[in-house]
Structure 1
Amino acid sequence: MSAPTRPTSPLTLALLTAAGSDSSAGTEVVGGSYARQNITLAAASGGATSNTNLVSFVDMPACTVVAVAIYENGGGRIWHGTLTASKTVNAGDTFQVAIGDLDITLG
């Protein structure tokens, strides 16, 4: 068995309108000026990490964001999870993830 490799940067955050699973990517937001945004993560401690940068998605389409996914450079999905509470976004809104608000725990 080979050793795990570190994901290739930059990492990008995707917003989902239907949550994915380990075998399905879910449904990514489309429309408006939506595009995946770069995200940086703190060094893991005790199997947990969080984002160290403000992540902003500007000029969003009208949608309800229920989950997120993180992709490595080259497009491979490395993590997915549902939001604690879904967020309805109006057309033209900005959706932001504040520093430290995306908590990831690996177990």
Structure 2
Amino acid sequence: MADNLANTAENLALDWILGVGTPTRPTTPLKVALVTANGDDATAGTEVAGGSYTRQNLSVAAAVNGATSNSADLTWASMPAATVVGVEVWDSAGSPVRLWYGPLSATRTVAAGDELKLPAGALTLSIA
């Protein structure tokens, strides 16, 4: 998801790099959400709901050349029937903050009870 930081994350990164104010680091673990309609910089997408769906913890390695990716499989078991078009990355604060968003390279349609998996390395995050 290149250049798909939400406005909140863009502001945090700029404030941190430029030494402006005291930006607060997002609450971890970061969580990956699946969406059936993509959002944009300012508005969240429509998150999957139902079945046993829950946001999954995101594990990443240190960035190299301006990018990183999930270091462990992301697996959603017992999904509701849905057509998943994108993902979003949220922090895990009491009132979660959306940090990243982006479309999947190909939409995925799952039937009720199906599993959806993004293997390790499949979700790339970059600022470039």
Normalized against structure 1, the TM-score is what? Answer: 0.93
| Structure 2: stretches of 5+ with no match in the other structure | 1-19
Corresponding residue for 1:86? 107
The code of the aligned residue for 2:84 comes to V
| Structure 1: stretches of 5+ with no match in the other structure | none
The code of the aligned residue for 1:92 comes to G
Q: 1:55-76 CA distances to partner (integer Å, 9 max, x unpaired)? A: 1111001111000000112111
Corresponding residue for 1:36? 55
Alpha-carbon RMSD across the aligned residues, in angstroms, is 1.2
SS at match of 2:71: coil
Deviating above 3 A after TM superposition, structure 1's stretches of 4 or more consecutive aligned residues are 3-6
Answering whether residue 116 of structure 2 is matched by residue 95 of structure 1, we say yes
More strand by share: 1
The code of the aligned residue for 2:41 comes to D
Corresponding residue for 1:17? 36
- Distance in 2 (CA, whole Å) between partners of 1:22 and 1:3 is 22
Corresponding residue for 2:45? 26
Q: 1:80-105 CA distances to partner (integer Å, 9 max, x unpaired)? A: 11111111111100111101111112
Give aligned-pair identity as a percent: 49
Q: CA deviation at 1:20?
A: 0.8
Corresponding residue for 2:77? 58
Normalized against structure 2, the TM-score is what? Answer: 0.79
Equivalenced residues, count:
107
- The structure having more radius of gyration, on CA atoms, is 2
